[in-house]
Amino acid sequence: MEAESGNKKFSLVELIRKIDVLPYAHEVNRYGLFEKSTYKFLAHDGTLIGYMLPLVAERFKEHSDCVSVDEVARTVAIIPALDTIESRNLKFKEIAEAWRSMNTFNILKGWRNELYVVYNPSHTPYLLVERAFSMLLGVITYGVHINGYIPPELSEDGKLKLWVPRRSYQKPTYPGMLDNTVAGGMGYPYGVFETCVKECYEEAGLDEAYVRENIKQNGVISYIYQHEPEVYNNEFGLIQPEVEFIFDLVMKPEKIPKPTDNEVQEFYLMGIDEVLTRLANGEFKYNCAGVIIDFLIRHGYLTIGMELEYLEIVNRIHRRLPFPSI
């Protein structure tokens, strides 16, 4: 589909390909390169829980009291002795802190003092690790993304409007880019809905009672991100499987989102045409573009008749991840 802007940079499917980057098994050559260039990260019972780059596996060899690295099988496996979550948390905490203090990896400069959860096949926590460190392990990370919108029937001109924030220019990641109304990572011990309520207050000043009354969970998106496609020999190739729970929040016209933390610069109220133009211009943080494209599809604003790559778009943002999950 065409956005209105003359200097369109991205088609919608191109935006989606920016977040769902890892090749699929049917892309035989690229998938083969991925398989032979990476390590499988395994739980102590052999369950696959992540994809790790060789530069990370290499450093893990120094920690045989935590994992065993097999260069033939290309696996990094948590040792059987670590059969309790407490013992695993402790070992990975030690390693994370050591690597942080030694500046082993650039990504650890983004240390957040926030724990992320890796799950068992039974959907219970298997391991808690520092958010920045989880990126090195190639495990699934979770977030919530909320579309705050004025539905057509409540809108002055009868057209749906989305509340779109601009990220603070001071944010370390994606400063000044457009974002979803509210979004945040799922840090331990918050559940999906608790994270929602917390972030709605912090990022948009919305109180819990309003959120509870007007929000619905309408789906989930998932994809496997790499900053640079087919790079397996430096940190730009870190493999990041992501799951984002999607909520739609009805915004009454009189309800104006107001940032209460410093993460948002400003909120804009945009119609669909403006959203499409700004998507095409590449103004949205890429995974937020994915969330908005999913919103447009679910609400009937983007159809097979308008977008030739419709099926690829829908499929890529609902990728089946080969790991246990929440």
Contact 117, 125 (CB under 8 A): yes
DSSP state of 107: G
- Residue 96 or 220 with smaller CB distance to a copy of itself: 220
Provide, rounded to whole angstroms, the least separation between the CB of residue 319 and a copy of itself. Answer: 7
Provide, rounded to whole angstroms, the least separation between the CB of residue 261 and a copy of itself. Answer: 25
Provide, rounded to whole angstroms, the least separation between the CB of residue 267 and a copy of itself. Answer: 24
Phi, psi of 16 (to 5 degrees): -65, -40
First CA to last CA distance, the chain: 35
Question: Which amino acid belongs to residue 249?
Answer: L
- Residue 134 or 222 with smaller CB distance to a copy of itself: 222
Of 178, 176, 180, the residue nearest 251 (C-alpha): 180
Going from the C-alpha of 34 to that of each of 19, 37, 136, 242, the distances in angstroms are 17, 5, 16, 18
Phi-psi region of 189 (alpha: psi -120 to 50; beta: other; left: phi over 0): alpha
Provide, rounded to whole angstroms, the least separation between the CB of residue 169 and a copy of itself. Answer: 34
- Residue 53 or 297 with smaller CB distance to a copy of itself: 297
Provide, rounded to whole angstroms, the least separation between the CB of residue 308 and a copy of itself. Answer: 5
Provide, rounded to whole angstroms, the least separation between the CB of residue 88 and a copy of itself. Answer: 22
What tokens appear for 280 in the block?
A: 């095409």
Provide, rounded to whole angstroms, the least separation between the CB of residue 175 and a copy of itself. Answer: 31
- Residue 84 or 124 with smaller CB distance to a copy of itself: 124
What tokens appear for 265 in the block?
A: 């610069």
Provide, rounded to whole angstroms, the least separation between the CB of residue 150 and a copy of itself. Answer: 16
- Residue 8 or 318 with smaller CB distance to a copy of itself: 318
The residue to which tokens 């370390």 are assigned: 172
- Count Cβ atoms below 10 Å from residue 14 Cβ, excluding itself: 13
CA 9 to CA 68: how far, in whole Å?
A: 46
Binding site for a copy of itself (CB under 8 A): 24-26, 31, 48, 123, 191-193, 216-220, 222, 243, 245, 248, 297-300, 303-305, 308, 310-312, 314-316, 318-322, 325-326
- Residue 96 or 221 with smaller CB distance to a copy of itself: 221
Provide, rounded to whole angstroms, the least separation between the CB of residue 163 and a copy of itself. Answer: 19
Bridge-based pairing of strands 141-150 and 240-250 is parallel
The residue to which tokens 């994915």 are assigned: 290
CA 185 to CA 203: how far, in whole Å?
A: 13
What SS3 string covers 256-317?
CCCCCCCCEEEEEEEEHHHHHHHHHCCCECHHHHHHHHHHHHHCCCCCCCCCCCHHHHHHHC
- Residue 37 or 87 with smaller CB distance to a copy of itself: 37
- Residue 82 or 243 with smaller CB distance to a copy of itself: 243
- Residue 22 or 238 with smaller CB distance to a copy of itself: 22
| Omega prior to 189 cis, within 30 of 0 | yes
